[in-house]
Amino acid sequence: MNVGGDNVTSRKKGTATRVLLMSTGALMVALLIGTPGIASARTIASKQLAHYTPTVQNYAKPQHIQNLTYGGAKVQVKNKNYVILWEPSTLQDGSAAFVSSQYNALMKRYFNDVGGNGLYNNNTQYYQIVGGVKTNIKNVSKLGGLFVDTTAYPKNQCSDPATGANCVTDQNITAEVNKVRQAQGWKVTSKDMFYVMTVKGEGSCANNLGIGCSFSSWCGYHYFVGKMMYANIPYANTFSGNCTTRSSFPNDPDADVTLSVVSHEQMEAV
């Protein structure tokens, strides 16, 4: 099931309702819904779809908005998330890597808070039918684990039009997921989602999926290998204005913009 719209949009009964995420604690974790990108996809040779959040510049407003159509497969009735913050000390060109002081803490806060929240409750209108039994998605989403990996980015992997040689491929992302999850003992099930988040200035190309490169075509995407579902989440505020149209941020601008992309990919994947 894929939820498109300004990152998260409720489309029950043909309506479009924008929702802000409020944490259960004192801190509001901002889900910024300024990115005007709908859920987009590219079909590759295997006939599978790679869904992504387009950049503001790459956005094309749809002519018609319709309810989602159930395709007959399973959904994530319950959702568990694993976050890999891939943060070496330098980029491939030797320049210092950077994440904002609140970035990692707010990523963790989002995944701890989103389950049971009004935002995630949007998903409960959607369902699966297995063996003739209809089961709606539950408002259950948990953080299964978070790991900061300081291993250097591999060099000479790709050239992102926006970041040059500071670039990792889709294959590098899946290799990173497999490396970390095996080291941490994280299992792969149909309810799990793995996120790889890179530092400011690090681009990414997914030419094997037919969707091009970060910051010029997309701000993040999700895909799968076998049963392993994963998301590639670059540092969305690397270039101001590419991944949001918002101008105010209640917490940390860098974390807030990235969390907009994170929420988009999470809800689509579920």
Residue 7: pLDDT band with limits 50, 70, 90: very low
Q: Which amino acid, residue 2?
A: N
Q: For residue 251, is pLDDT > 80?
A: yes
Query: Out of 15-19, 30-34, 85-89, 202-206, which region has the weakest mean confidence (pLDDT)?
Result: 15-19
Tens digit of each residue's pLDDT (9 = 90 or more) over 138-181: 999 999 999 999 999 999 999 999 999 999 999 999 999 999 99
Q: What is the pLDDT of residue 185?
A: 98
Tens digit of each residue's pLDDT (9 = 90 or more) over 48-106: 578 888 898 887 666 666 778 899 999 999 999 999 999 999 999 999 999 999 999 99
d(CA 244, CA 34): 5
Place of tokens 């694993």: 82
Residues paired with residue 147 on neighbouring β-strands, in sequence order: 84
Which DSSP string corresponds to 16-57? -EE-----SSSSPPP------PPPEEEE-TTS-EEEEEE-ST
Q: What is the pLDDT of residue 17?
A: 27
Q: What is the pLDDT of residue 33?
A: 33
Q: What is the pLDDT of residue 245?
A: 80
